[in-house]
Structure 1
Amino acid sequence: MSSASCLRERLREDQPLILDGGLGTEPGLCVCLSFAKDWIGRLLREINIISDCHFLNVLHMLRFIISGADIITTATYQASIPGFVSHLGLSVGDSRKLLMSGVYLAKEAAEKRSDLKWRKSAFVAGSVGPYGAHLANGSEYKGTYAARLTVERLKDFHRPHIECLVDAGADVIAFETIPSIKECQALVEVLREFPSSEAWMSFSCGDHKTIADGSLFTDAVQMACRSKQLLAVGVNCCPPDVVEPLLDAAQSLLPPEMTWVAYPNKWDAWDTKLGVCVCPTGGCCFVRPADIAWLRQHLKGDDAKCEPNDCPTTESTS
């Protein structure tokens, strides 16, 4: 059975799958990196060149796995081949290798799960951020750039990114923080060019009713549901209190073969009733392994949690 088929089978189970938290939430991983246009590129390059940084990144992902994450995402949200070429001076070939390395790092961490008591494998989601993410100006939370770009231009931008993640063996593609219906349409269309791949689509939302560009969330869900390759649709990188109203409003639009995905930013309190109908669920910005452990306990009711002394050491992960 393929990894995508295994993931779809797991999604049919009663309990939700747990996602990881935010990249760079752990001390020591991204302290020297500013949110510039090349920061993901520099992060990936440093990880691949410097053994200590490589270890820190795998350790960071493994902490989320030990805390109960069933799916970990790659450090490729802001990455793009044009960005690597223009800001890092890399060739197209080297840029592809660098982007693919994000999948290899995540798989390295996921494979270590076999040593833990949770025997089901962790899945790797290849992160694809919106066009606005590589601009590094916060436009993924507004989506205004979409007005000046055609669907074909957006497809051309995303295609090589998706191709690298697929070629590197990501189990599922995560279209994250999508702020506009036009970009959703572009991703739905370009995904058809990779017929053996599956994905989820999560939107950047402005309030309890709309996505970032002002379109109704219900309209965005309808656009996403045109794809038979999407496993889930939902929201991420948003306040927790907008999740339930958004999903409730679009509940009737969700096909039976799809499910919801929701991973808001750091929460002060999570309505555990939400977990009954959300799969996968997890956290976005500022969400750390301890938060994921808490979420797993509340949603799955098991003891898959990570206390500070339970986290792996150099000896246990080398």
Structure 2
Amino acid sequence: MRTNFDEVRKQKDLIILDGAMATELEKKGFNLNDELWSAKVLAEHPQAIKEVHFDYYKNGADAGTSASYQASIQGFAKKGYSAREAKDFIAYSMELLIEARKEWWEKEGKSQGRIFPLAVGSIGPYGAYLADGSEYTGSYSVSEKVLEEFHITRMEVLKEAGAELFALETFPCLYEAVVCANMMERMEADYYISFSFQNGNQINGGNTIKECVKALNGLKYIKAIGVNCTQPQYVKEIIKNYKEVTSLPIVVYPNSGETYDALGKVWHGSKEQITYGEWAKDWYQAGASIIGGCCRTTPNDINQIYSWYAKEHQ
């Protein structure tokens, strides 16, 4: 059983994404202070990843995202895995997501009248592979050829494994987003692009929302554009600025409100006093069509979104 973005959009004006994978894996006792991040668990304890996917579906997610954000051929190679093993791990990330969806659907989803969720393939930026914090700044400078060679194999593997939509997410720079968008277009694969932002109008690499939209305008397979891995207080302004220059659906899934030290790989501060569900309702009213959570968000945060939306649309 499969679905696609357009079918899900026909059924709901708000698609609820899942939340953080790493946060839940750390709660289960896994140490993710590693260059592979959650992809390390993909290789060593895949059942734990499947359990997290199931929990997000159970708590209201209309779309689950594969644990492939930091999974790449090159990243696994640095850890001593062969290219064949790396491809198998990347494919497995999508297979686990789809298995969790099937199990949840048969046990709960179908009887609850929920929609059949999307299976989304996560593609993180080149900077995530570098594991030096540059995924949050876009400070890496590599050629288009290097970016294509880095991304294309895992894109193809995820598509073959069943990805129904791609999330090009946490992209700090427009240049890489355009390169990856063009690869998606050649693959004829549906996708959305989500940038990380430094304020209400500029992505971390410095480009404005208007510049980003202009560079991506007219592409056939792009389904949404938006923001993730960003402080939640910027999101409402980001939605407003997007809506002024594009008719594409807006996707938002910021962090919980804590601040990440990319070099020390630790979080500081605490969540905002306002609940995540309250934030999300505000973003929905501002015009967001796809809402979920990024770093430090939990199944409970996703359930908060599901609960008020379900109550208002009974």
- TM-score relative to the length of structure 2: 0.86
Alignment of 1:16-165 (within 5 A): 16-26=14-24, 31-48=29-46, 54=47, 56-87=48-79, 89-114=80-105, 115-116=107-108, 117-145=112-140, 148-165=141-158
Give the counterpart of 1:219 among 211, 217, 225.
211
- The separation in 2 between residues aligned to 1:266 and 1:154, in whole angstroms, is 30
- The separation in 2 between residues aligned to 1:112 and 1:302, in whole angstroms, is 28
State, as a whole percentage, how many aligned pairs show the same letter: 29
Cα distance, 1:178–1:30 mapped onto 2, change above 3 Å = farther
Deviation of 1:28 after TM superposition, in Å, equals 5.8
Q: Secondary structure of the residue that 1:3 maps to in structure 2? A: coil
Larger deviation, residues 13-22 vs 294-303? 294-303
- The separation in 1 between residues aligned to 2:313 and 2:2, in whole angstroms, is 29
Q: Secondary structure of the residue that 1:36 maps to in structure 2? A: coil
Larger deviation, residues 71-80 vs 36-45? 36-45
The question of whether the paired residues in 2 share the 8 Å contact of 1:67 and 1:293 is answered with yes
Cα distance, 1:214–1:31 mapped onto 2, change above 3 Å = same
Deviations 1:54-107 (A, max 9, x none): 1x32221111111111111111101110111122x1221111011110000101
Instruction: Determine the structure 2 residue equivalent to 1:293.
Output: 303
Deviation of 1:271 after TM superposition, in Å, equals 5.4
Q: Tell me if 1:274 matches 2:283.
A: yes
Deviation of 1:226 after TM superposition, in Å, equals 3.8
Instruction: Determine the structure 2 residue equivalent to 1:10.
Output: 8
Deviation of 1:14 after TM superposition, in Å, equals 5.1
Instruction: Determine the structure 2 residue equivalent to 1:236.
Output: 228
The question of whether the paired residues in 1 share the 8 Å contact of 2:3 and 2:116 is answered with no
Paired residues, number: 290
Q: Tell me if 1:182 matches 2:175.
A: yes
Cα distance, 1:140–1:262 mapped onto 2, change above 3 Å = same
Cα distance, 1:151–1:10 mapped onto 2, change above 3 Å = same
Deviation of 1:299 after TM superposition, in Å, equals 3.1
Q: Tell me if 1:191 matches 2:184.
A: yes
Deviations 1:156-211 (A, max 9, x none): 2111111111010111111000000101110111112211x101100011111100
- The separation in 2 between residues aligned to 1:28 and 1:141, in whole angstroms, is 21
Larger deviation, residues 58-67 vs 174-183? 58-67
Unaligned runs of 5+ in 1: 49-53, 305-318
Unaligned runs of 5+ in 2: 258-271
Q: Secondary structure of the residue that 1:144 maps to in structure 2? A: coil
Deviations 1:242-289 (A, max 9, x none): 11111211213223xx31100011153315232142121010011111
Cα distance, 1:192–1:182 mapped onto 2, change above 3 Å = same
Amino acid at match of 1:77: Y
Deviations 1:9-61 (A, max 9, x none): 2224453010111013236666332332133442111124xxxxx1x322211
Deviation of 1:241 after TM superposition, in Å, equals 1.3
The question of whether the paired residues in 2 share the 8 Å contact of 1:188 and 1:226 is answered with no
Deviation of 1:293 after TM superposition, in Å, equals 0.7
**Superposition CA RMSD, Å:** 2.1
Q: Secondary structure of the residue that 1:124 maps to in structure 2? A: strand
- The separation in 2 between residues aligned to 1:35 and 1:150, in whole angstroms, is 28
Cα distance, 1:303–1:26 mapped onto 2, change above 3 Å = farther
Amino acid at match of 2:42: L
- The separation in 1 between residues aligned to 2:299 and 2:237, in whole angstroms, is 26
Cα distance, 1:273–1:264 mapped onto 2, change above 3 Å = same
The question of whether the paired residues in 2 share the 8 Å contact of 1:151 and 1:185 is answered with no
Cα distance, 1:60–1:86 mapped onto 2, change above 3 Å = same
- TM-score relative to the length of structure 1: 0.85
The question of whether the paired residues in 2 share the 8 Å contact of 1:259 and 1:279 is answered with yes
